[in-house]
Chain A
């Protein structure tokens, strides 16, 4: 329990802050379509040219080779500056890239990592299936060996940023006789390969940012296997671990900004009684204070998780606690926002923002990447050592 912000780190912070002030895109990020993807890639290219891509990635792959602490400072300043989310670049930067760094072959690293950092390609994830959501181990998309290729048949779903993606981290079943989590393989799929069909799915918010992907005899070279044949579960767990570590810090700081924005709105709009401002209402002030505290705790929980990650290479199940805190809190904050705004809260776009869309979108945090319920099971079984439930 100690401060580790050295003078060097503070100088780095100042440098980051100055650069972001000058370079954060002023335009609003499009919410969907090819414009959104182009926007995300352009912003990544700007960061690369500025020397800010892959801060903690090894130098030989185009990164800066700096410690995790610098990456953290970057995330903090990034969010504070109101920089747009990495969006279409997210899977590449926070999942695929780090996974390849740990598990990839030299050729895979050589080819992919620098393209990711330069913002030349986007990636999507191919884990969930129509019949395998939280129960990821039961996935059925088959890969059959044929010479020096695997032939893929099946379907993936909830593929965020699937439309337009260049590559996919694809989890397939290579050994149908093996136990659930064995017999899976983690592959790099070229999304332009023949036999791949992408059907966009509209989310309940009305926004289209994910898709179902169909594979009809898609041929993927064996050289695209990451981490070895039938070792995909272990590789995938590494990937999910990254998601629960530092990658979440940007979302967490964004939520903190959201709460502060709500405070400002509460200072401006009328109280429900019609007398005074909303912030003068005791119940509103109480809820704002509580979510402020919960967001502060989220920041501290992330710091504790990162402290653990700095000592242990592979993130442990504790990261689920942060995800639980975040998934429930973000929905609470946005529901509060809609109610706070009164009639304005019913308008999808108004002078205070797009709160209904944000509210409907944030359900994904309690569902995607493991539902709240599955995360609670994982905490109970893997962190607390309670007996395994049926099949889980």
Chain B
């Protein structure tokens, strides 16, 4: 399969418009204010996100969408990751693909919001209920839950018990979801695969943002009479961060294109992307803390926000072992 992994002109335009809006409305510094927690800033700007066409981006025009595909959604998800935008934005971008016509229209118009449900064990949709965590679900309408064979939407009637997340800027609730009456259930691996791709792209954005932060800091922080970025130890950390970012980015893009081409629903490329993007996000965030030294260890700096978010998002309906098992289950061509 011969691919062009650089953005097309249209993808660049989409990226630029989303990046401009996100940088203006959701600067990372917002997350130092409790009013921004639990998707506070996103909820306040939800109409603007809808106005940008985010929620109908990958829907056909007949479905009321913009008419693009997974590649463009992945482009957007990467920008959302850079600014640690609430995962509920991603969840809504995903949920539109499973929604009925009415709900789809409501999502696209920014009238309804979805949230990820993170199950404590792989979901068996034949059972009555599933214990899940809901992420940034306060005020959300619909929970999105999937396993390898199906993706389903559920009405959020009760958020359950609030728990404190490792990333305290995200609201986390424990609840037992009644699986018997989904709003919609879409069988097949296409949407679970799409979920994985969006999350991989978001994690790639975190990996890239932390690389950029670390490099910027290494250029200005002076010790022993020179910028710390002149020391090889720091340079080599940064070079490895760049390698991990490049691996995550190129694999996620490749998997996104593959998903638009292959009829048979195969998790291999997506699982590779999720595994590597998760690793890149967590490792780069960790090294960003390290390169920021004492400041990196403080609550006041931004570095910890990325580490916490990377740990949280890389664990949404996934884990290193789950992705490894998916990779072993499928044989690449």
With A304-B249, A376-B235, A387-B227 given, is the CB distance from A289 to B324 under 8 Å?
Answer: yes
Q: Which residues of B in the span 199-250 have a Cβ within 8 Å of any Cβ on A?
A: 211, 215, 218-219, 226-227, 229-232, 234-236, 238-240, 242-243, 246-250
* Bound complex: CA A256 to CA B8 (Å): 29
Q: Is A297 an interface residue (CB 8 A)?
A: yes
Report yes or no: B321 in contact with A3, Cβ–Cβ below 8 A: no
Q: Which residues of A in the span 324-340 have a Cβ within 8 Å of any Cβ on B?
A: 324-325
With A296-B332, A389-B235 given, is the CB distance from A384 to B215 under 8 Å?
Answer: yes
Q: Is B71 an interface residue (CB 8 A)?
A: yes
Q: A2-B8, A72-B2, A293-B327 are in contact. List 14 more A-B contacts (CB 8 A).
A: A1-B3, A1-B4, A1-B8, A1-B253, A1-B256, A3-B261, A256-B332, A285-B324, A292-B328, A296-B268, A300-B250, A310-B4, A324-B239, A377-B232
Q: Is B176 an interface residue (CB 8 A)?
A: no
Tell me, rounded to whole Å, the shortest Cβ–Cβ distance linking A148 to chain B.
45
With A1-B71, A387-B229 given, is the CB distance from A300 to B251 under 8 Å?
Answer: yes
Q: Is A26 an interface residue (CB 8 A)?
A: no
Report yes or no: A385 in contact with B235, Cβ–Cβ below 8 A: no
Q: Is A379 an interface residue (CB 8 A)?
A: yes
Partner of A2, one of B71, B271, B323: B71
> Taking CB as reference atom, which chain A residue is nearest B254?
A300
Q: Is A187 an interface residue (CB 8 A)?
A: no
Report yes or no: B226 in contact with A297, Cβ–Cβ below 8 A: no
B268 cross-chain contacts in A, Cβ below 8 A: 296
Report yes or no: B4 in contact with A383, Cβ–Cβ below 8 A: no
> Taking CB as reference atom, which chain A residue is nearest B241?
A384
Most chain-B Cβ atoms within 10 A of its Cβ — which of A73, A286, A311, A386? Answer: A386
Report yes or no: B246 in contact with A289, Cβ–Cβ below 8 A: no
Q: Is B134 an interface residue (CB 8 A)?
A: no
Interface string of B162-187 (1 = CB under 8 A from A): 00000000000000000000000000
Most chain-A Cβ atoms within 10 A of its Cβ — which of B2, B11, B234? Answer: B2
With A290-B275, A296-B269, A325-B243 given, is the CB distance from A1 to B250 under 8 Å?
Answer: no
Number of residues on chain B facing chain A (CB within 8 A): 55
> Taking CB as reference atom, which chain A residue is nearest B70?
A1
Number of residues on chain A facing chain B (CB within 8 A): 48
Report yes or no: B238 in contact with A321, Cβ–Cβ below 8 A: no
Q: Is B7 an interface residue (CB 8 A)?
A: yes
Partner of B5, one of A303, A380, A387: A303
Interface string of B247-285 (1 = CB under 8 A from A): 111110110110011000000110110011000000000
Q: Is B34 an interface residue (CB 8 A)?
A: no
Q: Which residues of A in the span 244-279 have a Cβ within 8 Å of any Cβ on B?
A: 256
> Taking CB as reference atom, which chain A residue is nearest B280?
A297
A92 cross-chain contacts in B, Cβ below 8 A: none
Report yes or no: B243 in contact with A2, Cβ–Cβ below 8 A: no
* Bound complex: CA A289 to CA B249 (Å): 19
B253 cross-chain contacts in A, Cβ below 8 A: 1, 300, 304
> Taking CB as reference atom, which chain B residue is nearest A70?
B2
* Bound complex: CA A307 to CA B254 (Å): 12
Query: A residues engaging B (CB < 8 A)?
Result: 1-5, 9, 69, 72-73, 256, 285-286, 288-290, 292-294, 296-301, 303-304, 307-308, 310-311, 318, 321, 324-325, 373, 375-377, 379-381, 383-389
A69 cross-chain contacts in B, Cβ below 8 A: 2
Partner of B238, one of A292, A296, A380: A380
A389 cross-chain contacts in B, Cβ below 8 A: 230-232, 235
> Taking CB as reference atom, which chain B residue is nearest A308?
B6
- The total of Cβ contacts below 8 Å across the A-B interface reads 163
Report yes or no: B251 in contact with A376, Cβ–Cβ below 8 A: no
Report yes or no: B236 in contact with A300, Cβ–Cβ below 8 A: no
Report yes or no: B324 in contact with A4, Cβ–Cβ below 8 A: no
With A293-B276, A297-B276, A304-B6 given, is the CB distance from A386 to B254 under 8 Å?
Answer: no
Tell me, rounded to whole Å, the shortest Cβ–Cβ distance linking B278 to chain A.
11
Report yes or no: B229 in contact with A297, Cβ–Cβ below 8 A: no
B328 cross-chain contacts in A, Cβ below 8 A: 285, 288-289, 292
Report yes or no: A388 in contact with B230, Cβ–Cβ below 8 A: yes
B236 cross-chain contacts in A, Cβ below 8 A: 373, 376-377, 380
Q: List 29 A-B contacts (CB under 8 A).
A: A1-B4, A1-B257, A3-B1, A3-B257, A3-B261, A4-B4, A5-B2, A285-B324, A288-B328, A289-B328, A293-B276, A294-B247, A296-B254, A297-B247, A297-B248, A298-B247, A300-B251, A303-B3, A307-B4, A325-B247, A373-B236, A376-B235, A377-B236, A380-B235, A380-B242, A384-B215, A385-B219, A386-B230, A387-B226
Report yes or no: B251 in contact with A321, Cβ–Cβ below 8 A: no
Tell me, rounded to whole Å, the shortest Cβ–Cβ distance linking A322 to chain B.
8
Tell me, rounded to whole Å, the shortest Cβ–Cβ distance linking A326 to chain B.
11
Report yes or no: A386 in contact with B215, Cβ–Cβ below 8 A: yes
> Taking CB as reference atom, which chain A residue is nearest B245?
A321
> Taking CB as reference atom, which chain B residue is nearest A318?
B246
